[in-house]
């Protein structure tokens, strides 16, 4: 973990994130990877609010927030401006899943199509956490949110998580990756690779939210690991649209992950095996698609 | 030297001489020729700029905001629905104090869909914190771009600006226009010197969020800058006059107003028709004049009150409608003349590209003299 532990802190302590905040950890790790020669572009969301209440800021690099949905367009302008001035800073967007999967898709699509040399990082906490845990396109099947609540005739969110990495890979992005704050070295290495790859790169980092998901603040990393170990989240890299590397696991049943979070509590009280089986099928399909299962004689990586 | 050219081309030519470093725009009628001309100039290496072919007007202005924040002079142009799509970014760019200059080829807003001229689009953004300048002809349109950049980038101002000219009536019309040489333009408008910029060597945070303890002071600062912009516009307009012989030191401009009893008040290309109509009415012995408003934001209330202090009747021509309350300019002129005893009547005219003729102007004067006003002028009553 030398890479992660070393270097100065460019994301300061004293920000106002919840204890155990996954996205705050993502921000800290991200800046360890990018270093000082970076301009960050943010969207409206949790991270913007907890890190920059005027007149305070947690950011040790130039940072700009304009609106909820336009980070990729603002970044396009910054990149063009730097190019014209002959400057060398890396332009990195840091946006939540709402800003990425939903409201910001138009701007992201435009920026990726045009091939700007930017790295777009989505911290995925799987709902609109800043406004009170509403469903986004990143919300997984079966999760209860305040706009997709479980109720007497509802089992929560019945829509599948949008496949943003595939959408951006389809734009011709040279490098698309998923990562998790539970595997910090892997995330840092992927960010380093992305910022050093010319063209628009995308990293979607799984960043569990203890408040939104309903688990204890000390369990953030454990929750991130369980998502990977169940196959509900897959860490992989796509180079020029081809999956090159996916983290292999000896899979655990999804129930281990689901049962530890309040957002899935309605699947257990009363117990809905049919619904848990549907979520298990999603994990199984992930395992099949990315080939992540460690076979009997295969050793752990 | 005067050259005969299309209004849109005159805008592109003057923008070239303003040396934007980043251009981001999305085509929309009747703005299209401007951005096409600029794209060709970039393609010919006549402009040393990045031209970003964005996927929407929303992204056009967002990209301009980013480029400006990173320290480049930027340019965009739009109209109507495109400006409406930029609404959120307009407020944001002003709040973030980015000196963006954007041409508005004024066009009506749907529904019903109309590509023709009125000034509803930019008027609807009157409270966004952008300076709003309105041009009467293509020469004035071109000149106001240089003035706009100069004022916007002034470190005491730092606000964005719309340079508005009427869609089709000016954009697609050929007129003789005098353009400065590049050297003359450079002498008037120095290179962009950002007050602050995104720079890894000197990190700062832009566009943070503000709690109720701080938000109001930001709005106050923008309002103060808008008020200071009046003097900055006067100064920049005077300097322009000294260098180029065309003086823009007035936020408003009178035409045959000195001895007038009735004053028309208007903005944009309609002022040309009004001047011709006034000449005819003067020949018939009627004491009519025009007050042209060039600077709608900041609103020149005291200048208007001063210019109109000797007239008895004012007829405002509004190419917009604040539905349920009359025209925007008329409302503000009434406010500026409050307590003066002058009769002020407002006329909603020429919406959606309806033609205005000299006889319409004379008819409005007749109505005002009879004390009939605050109405839509020229409605087709048979279809109502």
CB contact under 8 A, B59 and A73: yes
Q: Is A84 on the interface with B (CB under 8 A)?
A: yes
CB contact under 8 A, A63 and B203: yes
Residues 6+ apart with CB under 8 A from A242: none
A52-72 pLDDT, tens digit each: 999 999 999 999 999 999 999
For an interface test with A, give the residue of B53, B67, B100 to mutate (most A CBs within 10 A).
Answer: B67
Residues 6+ apart with CB under 8 A from B337: B304, B305, B308, B314, B344
Burial class (CB in 10 A: 0-12, 13-18, 19+), A55: exposed
**Inter-CA distances, B165 with A84, A144, B130, B365, Å:** 30, 52, 15, 25
* Three-class secondary structure assignment of B158-213: CCCEEEEEECCCCCCCEEEEECCCHHHHHHHCCCCCCCCCCCCCCCCEECCECCCC
> Could you tell me which chain A residue has the CA closest to the CA of B208?
A52
Q: Can you tell me the distance from the alpha carbon of B96 to that of B90, in angstroms, rounded to the nearest whole number?
A: 10
Work out the minimum CA distance from B54 to partner chain A, whole angstroms. Answer: 6
Give the residue ranges of DSSP H helices in A39-144.
46-51, 71-85, 97, 105-114
Question: A238-248: string of b/e by CB count within 10 Å (b at 16+)?
Answer: bbeeebeebbb
The closest of B166, B120, B167 to B321, measured between CA atoms, is B120
Whether the CB-CB separation of A46 and A130 falls below 8 Å is answered with yes
**Inter-CA distances, A168 with A33, A234, A245, Å:** 22, 17, 17
Give B24's contacts in chain A (Cβ within 8 Å): 76-77, 80
Q: Can you tell me the distance from the alpha carbon of A106 to that of B85, in angstroms, rounded to the nearest whole number?
A: 13
Tens digits of pLDDT across chain A (301 residues)? 344 555 568 999 889 999 999 999 999 999 999 999 999 999 999 999 999 999 999 999 999 999 999 999 999 999 999 999 999 999 999 999 999 999 999 999 999 999 999 999 999 999 999 999 999 999 999 999 999 999 999 999 999 999 999 999 999 999 999 999 999 999 999 999 999 999 999 999 999 999 999 999 999 999 999 999 999 999 999 999 999 999 999 999 999 999 999 999 999 999 999 999 999 999 999 999 999 999 866 554 4
CB contact under 8 A, A80 and B198: no
Burial class (CB in 10 A: 0-12, 13-18, 19+), B75: buried
Give A63's contacts in chain B (Cβ within 8 Å): 203-206
A143-170 pLDDT, tens digit each: 999 999 999 999 999 999 999 999 999 9
Q: Can you tell me the distance from the alpha carbon of B351 to that of B120, in angstroms, rounded to the nearest whole number?
A: 8
**Inter-CA distances, B88 with A109, B58, B63, B73, Å:** 19, 8, 13, 21
B9-44 pLDDT, tens digit each: 999 999 999 999 999 999 999 999 999 999 999 999
Whole-prediction pTM: 0.97
Work out the minimum CA distance from A51 to partner chain B, whole angstroms. Answer: 9
> Could you tell me which chain B residue has the CA closest to the CA of A62?
B203
Average pLDDT, chain B: 98
Work out the minimum CA distance from B58 to partner chain A, whole angstroms. Answer: 8
CB contact under 8 A, B62 and A110: no
Q: Is B71 on the interface with A (CB under 8 A)?
A: yes
């Amino acid at each position: 973990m030398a890479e992660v532990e070393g270097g100065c802190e460019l994301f300061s302590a004293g920000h106002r994130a919840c204890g155990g905040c996954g996205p705050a950890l993502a921000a800290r790790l991200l800046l360890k990877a990018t270093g000082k020669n970076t301009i960050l572009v943010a969207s409206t969301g949790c991270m913007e609010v907890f890190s920059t209440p005027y007149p305070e800021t947690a950011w040790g690099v130039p940072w700009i927030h304009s609106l909820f949905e336009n980070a990729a367009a603002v970044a396009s302008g910054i990149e063009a401006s730097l190019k014209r001035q002959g400057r060398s800073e890396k332009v990195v967007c840091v946006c939540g899943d709402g800003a990425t999967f939903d409201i910001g898709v138009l701007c992201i699509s435009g920026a990726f199509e045009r091939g700007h040399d930017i790295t777009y990082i989505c911290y995925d906490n799987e709902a609109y956490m800043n406004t009170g845990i509403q469903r986004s396109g990143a919300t997984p099947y079966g999760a209860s949110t305040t706009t997709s609540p479980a109720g007497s005739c509802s089992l929560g969110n019945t829509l599948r998580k949008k496949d943003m990495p595939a959408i951006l890979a389809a734009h011709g992005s040279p490098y698309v990756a998923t990562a998790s704050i539970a595997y910090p070295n892997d995330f840092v290495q992927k960010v380093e690779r992305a910022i050093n790859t010319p063209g628009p790169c995308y990293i979607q980092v799984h960043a569990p939210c203890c408040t939104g998901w309903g688990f204890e603040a000390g369990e953030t990393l454990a929750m991130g690991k369980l998502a990977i170990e169940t196959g509900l989240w897959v860490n992989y890299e796509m180079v020029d649209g081809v999956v090159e590397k996916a983290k292999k696991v000896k899979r655990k049943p999804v129930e281990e992950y689901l049962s530890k979070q309040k957002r899935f509590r309605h699947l257990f009280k009363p117990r809905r095996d049919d619904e848990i089986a549907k979520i298990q099928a999603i994990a199984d399909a992930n395992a099949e698609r990315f080939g992540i299962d460690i076979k009997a004689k295969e050793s752990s990586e | 030297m005067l050259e005969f050219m299309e209004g849109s081309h005159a805008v592109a030519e003057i923008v070239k001489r303003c040396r934007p470093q980043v251009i981001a725009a999305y085509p929309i009628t009747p703005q299209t020729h401007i951005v096409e001309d600029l794209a060709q100039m970039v393609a010919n290496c006549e402009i040393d700029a990045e031209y970003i072919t964005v996927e929407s007007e929303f992204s056009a202005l967002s990209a301009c905001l980013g480029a400006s924040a990173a320290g480049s002079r930027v340019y965009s142009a739009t109209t109507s629905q495109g400006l409406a799509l930029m609404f959120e970014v307009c407020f944001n760019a002003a709040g973030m104090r980015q000196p963006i200059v954007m041409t508005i080829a004024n066009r009506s807003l749907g529904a019903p869909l109309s590509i023709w001229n009125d000034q509803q689009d930019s008027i609807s953004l009157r409270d966004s914190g952008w300076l709003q300048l309105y041009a009467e002809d293509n020469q004035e349109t071109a000149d106001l771009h240089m003035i706009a950049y100069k004022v916007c980038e002034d470190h005491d101002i730092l606000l964005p600006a719309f340079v508005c000219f009427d869609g089709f009536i000016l954009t697609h019309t050929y007129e003789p226009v005098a353009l400065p040489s590049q050297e003359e333009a450079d002498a008037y408008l120095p290179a962009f010197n950002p007050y602050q910029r995104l720079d890894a060597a000197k990190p700062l945070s832009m566009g943070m969020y503000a709690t109720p303890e701080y938000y109001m002071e930001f709005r106050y600062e923008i309002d103060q800058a808008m008020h200071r912009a009046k003097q900055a516009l006067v100064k920049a307009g005077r300097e322009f006059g000294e260098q180029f012989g065309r003086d823009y030191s007035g936020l408003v401009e009178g035409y045959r107003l000195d001895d007038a009893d009735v004053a028309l008040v208007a903005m944009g290309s309609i002022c040309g028709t009004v001047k011709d109509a006034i000449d005819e009415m003067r020949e018939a012995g009627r004491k009519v004049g025009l007050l042209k408003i060039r600077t709608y934001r900041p609103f020149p209330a005291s200048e208007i009150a001063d210019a109109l202090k000797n007239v008895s009747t004012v007829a405002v021509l509004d190419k917009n409608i604040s539905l349920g309350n009359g025209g925007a300019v008329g409302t503000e002129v009434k406010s500026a003349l409050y307590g003066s005893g002058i009769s002020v009547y407002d006329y909603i005219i020429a919406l959606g590209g309806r033609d205005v003729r000299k006889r319409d102007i004379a008819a409005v004067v007749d109505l005002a003299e009879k004390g009939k006003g605050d109405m839509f002028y020229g409605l087709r009553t048979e279809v109502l």
